[in-house]
Structure 1
């Protein structure tokens, strides 16, 4: 059985878990294969593919060109970039692995501090021989506005309150009662953007949330406020975000997700000076990767035994 592991950027898949129970024919791809034709060629003989989250999409047009594929494992519990209906039609079983840890909420708090206290700028200044060039706000007493209060948004709220922050939130179906349970005050969408010192996005990308945050919302933010997106790039109108950053209409932005990933080398975000740009590492921790790859091995063993684990079904 040929198994291909995709997008192992850190080159840790082989050493992160024991693959001996499933195969001696393991193909690990450390780079991202951007072209569909090249991807199809690379996966032509693979019966099993392990996809790292949504780094490589599998729409119907790709799945139909992989006649030997029988099992597609996605790390995590869901993957919006896999066409589950097409996979079923092609006779491909799709399984998840589950996840581990509280990595993304921790990253959000780290980004809040790094942005407001200008970590990157001060680090560069010290290395160049400088000393103390910036000043910025602490978190205690500041207001964090959450766009989305699901599992991850709630975890971010808990950590933020531990730092003495006031937390407000909006999402399309959020009730005052649900917000109160999380120690958060539910407000209108515009109030989040008008009043918060930090706005952080925690929504799932869908047809209803694509482009949900646009020019009206971003232009309503205070000039001293910071914007963070660790969810999915297309939830935010990228052109509108670039506009407020270029005009310095907001204090800055922390981004871990983008419309196109990896972020193209010539992308205008790379030249912005009031941003903290991370390479989609919200879930990238030792603990998460251990759970991902161990789960992938479990999925393959179970599939070979005719008892698929954590199978993803068409909604």
Structure 2
């Protein structure tokens, strides 16, 4: 390929992409790189801005790529998805157009998300977000609500895979009791993950903290609804660093307003970025962070190195890490 190839790097909100990857490797091969630092307003906005590009790099699920968008991109020939998968990307629609999608698997440790989960949990336990706001406004101890230690408390882990098991290990280090539940969890796997298997209802009713570590799917969408939140202790705190739609957002807002649960710590939302003035931003018993689970330098460097390797392989006519192999049929 001798002509200029146009590559767009999407959703680089922190403006770090060009610093954390060896992009000159692609420039030397005639690849022209454009970075988008802001989210798109709509499908039509994305289609207009991305129409000239041959290659798109999607940063996780920050921009959804449904069929309606893919079909509006006449020059698109190749896509790279950072991470392993994205439920918001229609890989079948891309395959029908002969557009292969390569991912960047093997991101190494899941410590970044587990550590963020624990930071949120500790912040909720001691009401640190409110305390910080008080200090900035001239306050001191007045108004701080949550003042509990973790030692001796029960942590309920919903989803005890690699990530949930790591969080369970943190809990044990803090002297907490750990129970766990998911649809397919067995007693043996729970023991291996450092927890005791209980029913979903028991976990919700008896845990002081509940943390979610599941993949979003048809089975898990809306898994925690109003009736589930009602089973929790009024002193309980809910942490979600997985995906927003696993918890019914309207039910969660209602539960926080009513005091059904004491506090929530959230890294993920139904719509991202969270719109200005969203009801969650007006509640003082929720700690909000902007989907930071994977937002660390180590992850970015892995994503961008993988992106460059995937594009080089595609330029060589031998694409790697392709998640929609039907796109390659007949080529």
1:64 partnered with 2:86? no
User: Which residue matches 1:82?
Assistant: 89
**Whole-angstrom CA distance in 1 between matches of 2:160 and 2:325:** 25
Instruction: List gaps (5 residues or longer) in structure 2.
Output: 327-331
Larger deviation, residues 60-69 vs 289-298: 60-69
Partner-residue secondary structure (3-state), 1:190 = helix
Larger deviation, residues 201-210 vs 128-137: 128-137
Q: How does 1:1-315 map to 2 (within 5 A)?
A: 1-23=5-27, 24-98=31-105, 99-101=107-109, 102-133=111-142, 134=144, 136-313=147-324
Q: Is the 8 A contact 1:85 1:314 kept in 2?
A: no
Superposed CA deviations along residues 135-184 of structure 1, whole A, max 9, x for unmatched, are 51111111110111122111111222122111111101110111011111
**Whole-angstrom CA distance in 1 between matches of 2:324 and 2:202:** 38
Task: Give the superposition deviation at 1:77.
Answer: 1.2
TM-score, normalised to structure 1, is 0.97
Partner-residue secondary structure (3-state), 1:27 = strand
Task: Give the superposition deviation at 1:21.
Answer: 1.2
Instruction: List gaps (5 residues or longer) in structure 1.
Output: none
TM-score, normalised to structure 2, is 0.92
Q: 1:300 to 1:314 in 2, by over 3 A?
A: closer
**Whole-angstrom CA distance in 2 between matches of 1:57 and 1:230:** 19
Report runs of 4+ in structure 1 exceeding 6 Å deviation.
none
Superposed CA deviations along residues 105-130 of structure 1, whole A, max 9, x for unmatched, are 00111111111111112122223333
